[in-house]
Structure formats: C-alpha cells, structure tokens
Structure 1
Amino acid sequence: MLRSKIYLILGIGTEIGKTFLVENLLRHPDLVSGSILPLAIKPIASGFCDDDKNSDTARIAKILGEKDFDKITPWRFKKPVSPHFAGKIDFSAVKNFCRKNIALAKKQNRFLFIEAAGGVMTPITDKKTFLDLACDLKIPVLLVSANYLGSISHTLCAIMALKAKKIFLEKIIINENFPSQIKTSQLVRTCPKSRCEEHSESAIDGHRSRDFGQVLRTIERFSNIQTISIKHFLQ
C-alpha cells in the first residue's frame, strides 16, 4: 500500500479530498498497530471556526482522540483565504513543527501524515509555498487529485512543479467522488439547442463516469507515476 511511513499529503487544489484521505489512512487496518494509530497534522488552516466540528482539524482530532487543536493545527485563521493573506506565518516555525512531528513518528515507529492547506503552489508566506515546504522536508508526497473538467491539466502542472524540485511523488490518488467545479447544468446551457438531447444532464454525468478510467490512464501515461482511485487505494 505504502512504501514509507511518513508522507506529505498535497492536493492539486483546495477541498479536493486531502482530509478525507487522511481520515481513512488513520483508520486503515494495515497502518494501525494494535491500539496505536498513525499520527497526523495539518499545520495551517484558514476559514477555521473553533465550534465547527466538521473542520479538517476537528475531524483529524476526533480520530486521534486529541483535544488540543494546537498539536494538530497551530496556525488557524478565521478568514477563508490563502494562508499568506489570512495572517502572518513564520515559515521556519512551520518547518520546525513538521520536523518535530517527523522525529516523534520515527522515534515511535509510527506512520505520520502531514496535510497541506490548499494546493501544491498555495502560498504560506509572501515568498514560500507548500512546494517549498515539500522541498525542505524531503519526505515522500501523495498527491490528491479529482475527476472534473480541467483536472488532467491541473494535475499534470502540479506534477511538473514537484518533479522540477526533485520531490519524490509516490502516488497520485484521484478522488472519483469529487463534484465537478463546473455544474452539469452550466455545460448543458452552453450546448447548441440542436444537440440538447445528446448533451442532457444525465448524458454528461454518464459520460464523466465512463471517462474516469481514461482520466486515470492519461495522468499515469504522462506522469509515469502510479495513479489510482481513492477507493481502490484504501482497499
């Protein structure tokens, strides 16, 4: 399933399924040793509300039985914007927090999943992105993508950025249940009336479903990296 025990979970964008993946990895029987669960952190979160039980941090904390959110997400901001807009962040402090948890995971021989915020190129500061964090931490990456119009290009661009920095990308995991960022009804409205039957909502949704395998194969062919659906990855 996994070659290493410590990973950085990156996405091609925000709300792509990174936390869903982490939640399932924390519960996966192949990664749990007796009553000892893997570790997980999400250093930075924006759009955060302390009372939101469905926040990424709260969902991770619930599985780990951790009540102190600072141990999972020290940098929490209310504004739902890019981290470098949300507040002042010390990039070195973020790195040190990650490295402290990496050292702990190695000492305890446990899995550790570090979840990024947003996408590969999301800025952490005015000069540093999550790509820079990946480069500095020197740990394997799992890249989360999805099946929507434009996702192939977005995924391949993220892969190119990681490869340019010589970051080891172990797997590309596609969230097949991610809703399209362009609603089916929008696609239907843009089609000529003479073809409205061919481009009905049900036809487009069915076409998207049938094409999922082609999306996987296309990304894998261009990247030469194992590409798998999140469903099959977690089996």
Structure 2
Amino acid sequence: MGNGSRVFAYLRASTADQDATRAKTMLDTFCHEQGASISGYFVENASGATLDRPELMRALSFMQEGDVLLLEQVDRLTRLKSAEWEKLRAIIEGKGIRLCALDLPFTFPVLEKKDSVAEDDFQQRIMAAITGMMLDVLAAVARKDFDDRRRRQKEGIAKAKEQGKYAGRKKDEQKRNQILVLRERGLSYSEIEGLLGCSRRTISKAVRGV
C-alpha cells in the first residue's frame, strides 16, 4: 500500500463465550495475498447492535486519514439501527478511514498500490461512493437479520413454554466436568482455555457452580 496507509483489523464476537479472534488467521492470509500487512488488531466481545464498543471506538480514534479498517464481514462492524449506523458511518467518513471486508470484493482495491496519485484519487472517490451505498444496504440487511433472529427466538421460547418444554439454556455438563477436573489437577485458566477452547467466563462459571 502506498502513501503511508496502514491496515488495522477489527474482530468481534457477540458474546463472551465466542472466540472473537476466530477470523484472525483468515485476515492475515488475505492481507498477505493482497501484498499488504496488518499493523494492529482491535478485538472485543460485544454485540454489533450497540455503539457501546470500546475497542471499535479506540480503533477509530487511533486511525488516521487513509488508513484501512479490515473486517471479516460487514456485520462484524454493524447490526445497528439506522440512526446509530448513520452516527458510526459519519465517524468513519469524517476521519477519512477506508473499509475493506472479505465479503465485499469491490472493497479489495483499497489495499492495492496505485500507479499514480491521480488514479488513486479518482478511484478512491468512486470507491467511496459505491462503498457508502452498499454499506447502507448491507447495514440494513444485517440489522434485519438481527431482529429476525431475536423474533424467532422469542417465538420459539413462547411456544416451548406453552407446551411446558422450555427449561432455559442447558448447561454443558461434560464441558463443566472437564473444567473441574483440570482445575483440580492444578491447571490455570489460560491452560484450560487452550485445551478445551472455551472462554475464561465459562471456566469461571463452572468453578463457581453457576
């Protein structure tokens, strides 16, 4: 990439039990194939339906004009309602940050080196217009998907309650027992995370019997 532009990856998972770094290797490989490298990672476990995301805000605050925010998918950035998406988009555009998402091939050129400043400026203006339009559409789709899933979940729970079948979330007893055995053997939380692929929160809940 030319003109001192840097690439920063934003990785997000919705809950503490999910691995927010799952796509890190994929993003690294993609950048390498594009002849670029990732200068830093911003990782967090938070819902995409809220702007209360410290790592995302830290990334946007740290990044400079011309830098690229790399995403696995657009829904990693937003599942926001329309008004909140407009606020987030205004921050991104106001700082001159460019977006690249693996599910949007037309954003890949932001990682390419340009032959001339004129070509770079011309293509950037075209890409900014196209990206802005497509992001609005995909942000709306991501929000609709979020709302639909929540609605179906509520409907399913309500139906199960009517039939007397709903008992809340089932605990993974096998995983819980594995955690307890490993703790009894003196393994640390980090060691258990590595062996079982579960989160620190899951380990803590198992140890506390929650």
What's the TM-score once normalised by structure 1's chain length?
A: 0.29
Greater RCO, 1 or 2 (C-alpha within 8 Å, sep 6+): 1
What's the TM-score once normalised by structure 2's chain length?
A: 0.32
Structure label with greater radius of gyration: 2
